[in-house]
Chain A
Amino acid sequence: MDTRSIVYQVLFAVLFAMGSVSFVWSQSEAESVIALSDVKTLEELAKVGEQLFEGKGECAQCHSLQGSPSEKGPSLAGVGAKLTREFLYESLVKPDAYVYLDFTKLPPVPYVTPMPPTLLAKGEILAVIAYLQQSSGQLVSIELSELK
């Protein structure tokens, strides 16, 4: 066995080990996901909302909460304080009812990609709203009883 093949074998082993570790790690991450039905507090509800925002809800594909300008969609920094709960709900279900324009453009124009209606269920939408409110420094105005 020459040195080169030993090096390759070691390299392979290291890569394999790294892969396994990250797989196990991601599995344990996945386990920490809270199910909406298990939510006991408003903090947990907002946490579920964050997971939906980043994941299944696909909100983060076009929006950010950091206030950084995006070509795809308006920044959602502070919207939990700015917009009423009812309007936030409507924006997810019927996004074309009121289209917020890109005011950095002269004249302001709609964003290139229109927002599609969300595929999330009612309880999940409320969780996203809870997350938006919490990250805007607001009290979450959603009651856990509404999730049922």
Chain B
Amino acid sequence: MEGAAMGKGRQFSLGCVVVFVALFSLIVGCTNKTDNDTSQSSSLVMQGKELFMNYCVHCHGPSGVGDGFNALYLDPRPRDLTDSIEVFMGDLSNDDIYGMILSRDIMDPEESERLLDEALENDTELPFLVPPAMPTFKYTLSDAERWTLVAYLRTLHKNDAPQVDIPATVSTTRPIVSGRKVPSWDMAEEEKITLVERGKALFSDKYNCVGCHMIAGYGGKVGPDLSQSGRRLASDWTYQWISNPQAISSDTKMPNLGLSENEAKAITLYLGTLVSPSTS
């Protein structure tokens, strides 16, 4: 009798344990599922945030309102990504942010070269080659990385855009510019003068390098003051660096601007002429 009672008791507690385990795994299963969904999107946002903090924060500011320390040196001022005063970002589609902003195509080098030469020849005002001050990240970050930036930017302003989802087909490798052979710096004085002038125009008007670099007291402060680059920097190094900064320093804030060989040569020669003392 006593034994049978014990058996029943055991059966009951065993039953309780089974039911409890079943319920518990059901709950855990469900929460895990939702966890997976949110953790996937939050991990995209986190990756995007990390990139933002390296490549964007100095101009757009830590909260994205456009108050980075370098904003002071920029005209136009950096975009307020939070839309606190006017709605701009909120009206853009995810594709707009990805394509028009982060992956913007800079004018074809041959086309800009032609326009510059024309202006230099006719002694007319140099054409302002690319309107927005912000560099493209097309040549610096992988397609997937630029999408993670979209995911992060979406958390900064009100919007009805669908949640960013990166398909497996999107490339995760950064664009690679193979090591460029340094050109010869021997050339006729006249050719050098033309290239230096072209380099100067590319530096200030096409690629807006002054947004981040100061020359003789004018320009931004994200990167080094280049006022003395002519006596500081070795031309071969400058050429390699501006052609592909990430090949020399993988985590540098300087984006790869996608310079053509001719453009990199012209800008290197221009920087080589800068020897005035720094005023900063």
Contact = CB atoms under 8 A, between A and B. Distances in A.
B58 A106 contact: yes
B231 A108 contact: no
Contacts of A83: 232-234, 237
Contacts of B228: 98
A108 B221 contact: yes
A84 B232 contact: yes
A138 to B, nearest CB: 8
A68 B222 CA distance: 20
B278 A82 contact: no
B223 A107 contact: no
Interface in A2-24: none
Interface in A90-119: 98, 100-101, 103, 106-108
Given A106-B58, A107-B221, A98 B232 contact: yes
A82 B237 contact: yes
B253 interface: yes
Nearest to B238: A82
A86 interface: yes
B243 interface: no
B236 A103 contact: no
A81 interface: yes
A87 B231 contact: yes
Contacts, number: 40
B248 A78 contact: yes
A106 B232 contact: no
A87 B224 CA distance: 15
Contact of A100 (B70, B224, B236): B224
A103 B221 CA distance: 9
Q: Is the interface of A mostly helix, strand, loop or mixed?
A: loop
B55 interface: no
A125 B223 CA distance: 28
Contacts of A87: 231-233
A87 B229 CA distance: 10
A67 B223 CA distance: 18
Interface in B41-92: 57-58, 68-70
Contacts of B248: 78
B253 A103 contact: yes
Contacts of A84: 231-234
A78 B70 CA distance: 27
Contact of A81 (B58, B236, B249): B236
A18 B24 CA distance: 62
A81 B236 CA distance: 8
A107 B69 contact: yes
Given A82-B233, A98-B278, A101-B224, 18 more contacts: A67-B249, A81-B234, A82-B237, A83-B232, A83-B234, A84-B231, A84-B232, A84-B234, A87-B231, A87-B232, A87-B233, A98-B232, A103-B223, A103-B224, A106-B68, A107-B69, A107-B70, A108-B221
**Shortest 4 CB-CB distances between A and B: which pairs?**
A107-B69, A87-B232, A82-B237, A81-B237
Interface of A: 67, 78, 81-84, 86-87, 98, 100-101, 103, 106-108
Interface of B: 57-58, 68-70, 221-224, 228, 231-234, 236-237, 241, 248-249, 253, 278
11 contacts: A81-B237, A82-B234, A82-B237, A83-B232, A84-B233, A84-B234, A86-B231, A87-B231, A98-B278, A107-B58, A108-B222
